[in-house]
Amino acid sequence: MDRQRTDKNEETSAQGRPTLKTLAFMTGLGVTTVSRALKDAPEIGAETRRRVQLVAKQIGYRPNRAGVRLRTGRTNVISLVLNTDREIMSFVSDIIYGVSEVLAETPYHLIVTPYSRSQDPMEPIRYLVETGSADGVIISRTQPNDPRARYLLEHGMPFATHGRTDMGLVHPYHDFDNHAFAMEAVRRLASMGRRRLALLSPPPGLTYYSHTLNGFADALSEVGASEIPFNTVSIDNTIEQIRMRTAQVMRRDVRPDGFVSSAAAATLAIVAGIEDAGLKLGRDVDVVSKQSSDLLHLFRPELLVVNENFRLAGSELARSVLGWIGGAAPGSLQSLVVANGVQALNQPVPA
């Protein structure tokens, strides 16, 4: 079980895919010259360079990734590190699409490196660094003090985080402005006369948890509304837990007349809980929710939504990592996207 080629002569131009040796044979040049000609090295004659590149294009030469990787250590791989059981569904595919879109025009491949509940989140990161399996890494579920970011920085591995850190270290990131989202959501609810607001927050521990909380609190004091505590659940809880908890709080004497929800799936549960308690959306209570695909308005037209574009996030993250690999300053590869305000019903939102 081995390759069919056994002759050590270069004459074998017919089979297998072309290599530098093939190209060298066809052009009558040395492999070194061909290699350099293909990457526009300065010490190659213009004429020769053009000739080599022409032939390469003609026969469809593509550098062997294993060869390059073995020699240079460059993998041409970007790894997207995902939590296999925590990440919310649609989220992930959108990010993947966004990343793919950007990587498609480059020699880079996207590999998905999963880790599950049972594992240390650092494990895949260490694996990537130790084995040098990727040239760059994208991580999500970013924490204020994120050991992954610190580790990657220490080991000189380019990366970008979905969400910001707060460690005094500078690195590329892409983030959605959840502070602005929460403020906008509260303002909107206040403008509808809602005064007792509850927040279904992101999971504590992640950076955007406090962003959201702060935005919520800032806007509360701005508009003079009050908060109904709802912090025994987060969007990481199950649908059933959120639903039950919502129903509970809605049955109390002093109950929320407005909700801010950080995730679409969770919003379904909130609304179900509201209705479990015999109350009506739009009359007794209003809900502002983030969503990543434009479906919530079908669920209940009364819902107020803010769109978060995860596909864009994927693209930005990919661009950031590539930029860092390409030598750009990490500090110049940060982006923060602000939503275009709260949308009632289905008005398209370009981001």
Which one among 4, 11, 14, 43 touches DNA, defined by CB under 7 A? 43
Work out whether 114 is an interface residue with a copy of itself (CB under 8 A): yes
Could you say which residues in the range 63-102 bind DNA, by CB under 7 A? Answer: 63-64, 66-68, 70-72
Cβ-proximal residues to 255 (8 Å cutoff; 6+ apart), any chain: 196, 228, 249, 285
> Of the listed pieces 6-14, 113-121, 165-173, 328-336, which binds a copy of itself according to CB under 8 A?
113-121
Could you say which residues in the range 242-261 bind a copy of itself, by CB under 8 A? Answer: 243
Partner from a copy of itself, DNA, none binding residue 14, C-beta < 5-8 Å depending on class: none
Alpha-carbon distances, residue 297 vs 108, 187, 241, 264, 305 (angstroms): 38, 20, 23, 11, 8
Could you say which residues in the range 2-21 bind DNA, by CB under 7 A? Answer: 2-3, 5-6, 8-9, 16, 19-21
Residues 49-68 as x/- pattern, contact with DNA by CB under 7 A = --------------xx-xxx
Which one among 21, 35, 53, 65 touches a copy of itself, defined by CB under 8 A? 65
DSSP state of 16: S
The helix-helix angle for 310-325 and 89-103 (nearest 10°) equals 40
Neighbours of 85 (CB within 10 A): 10
Which one among 11, 14, 28, 57 touches DNA, defined by CB under 7 A? 28
Work out whether 40 is an interface residue with DNA (CB under 7 A): no
Minimum distance from residue 75 beta carbon to a copy of itself (Å)? 8
Place of tokens 């569904």: 89
Q: Taking the mean position of all CA atoms in its chain, how far away is CA 41?
A: 36
Q: Is the dihedral of CA 35, 38, 41, 46 positive or negative?
A: positive
Q: What is the largest CA-CA distance in the chain?
A: 89
Give the residue from 108, 286, 111 showing the smallest Cα distance to 193: 286
Work out whether 349 is an interface residue with a copy of itself (CB under 8 A): no
Nearer to DNA, 156 or 348 (CB): 156
Minimum distance from residue 340 beta carbon to DNA (Å)? 42
Which one among 104, 122, 338, 344 touches a copy of itself, defined by CB under 8 A? 104
Do the strands 343-344 and 304-307 form a parallel or antiparallel pair, or are they unpaired? antiparallel
Intra-chain end-to-end CA distance of the chain, in Å: 54
Work out whether 253 is an interface residue with DNA (CB under 7 A): no
Alpha-carbon distances, residue 243 vs 120, 189, 274, 276, 278 (angstroms): 30, 21, 8, 8, 13
> Of the listed pieces 4-12, 37-45, 59-67, 161-169, which binds a copy of itself according to CB under 8 A?
59-67
Minimum distance from residue 138 beta carbon to a copy of itself (Å)? 13
Nearer to DNA, 38 or 349 (CB): 38
Which one among 268, 288, 306, 321 touches a copy of itself, defined by CB under 8 A? 268
Q: Where are the beta strands (DSSP E) in 123-245?
A: 136-139, 159-162, 173-176, 196-200, 226-227
Q: Is the dihedral of CA 298, 300, 306, 308 positive or negative?
A: negative
Q: Find the DSSP H helices in 64-160.
A: 65-72, 89-103, 122-131, 147-154
Q: How far apart are CA 74 and CA 69, in angstroms?
A: 5
Which residues are near a copy of itself by CB under 8 A?
Answer: 3, 17, 60, 62, 64-67, 69-70, 73, 75, 77, 82, 84-85, 87, 89-94, 96-97, 100-101, 104, 109-114, 116, 130-133, 239, 243, 265, 268-269, 271-272, 293-295, 298-299
Which residues are near DNA by CB under 7 A?
Answer: 2-3, 5-6, 8-9, 16, 19-21, 28-33, 35-36, 38-39, 43-48, 63-64, 66-68, 70-72
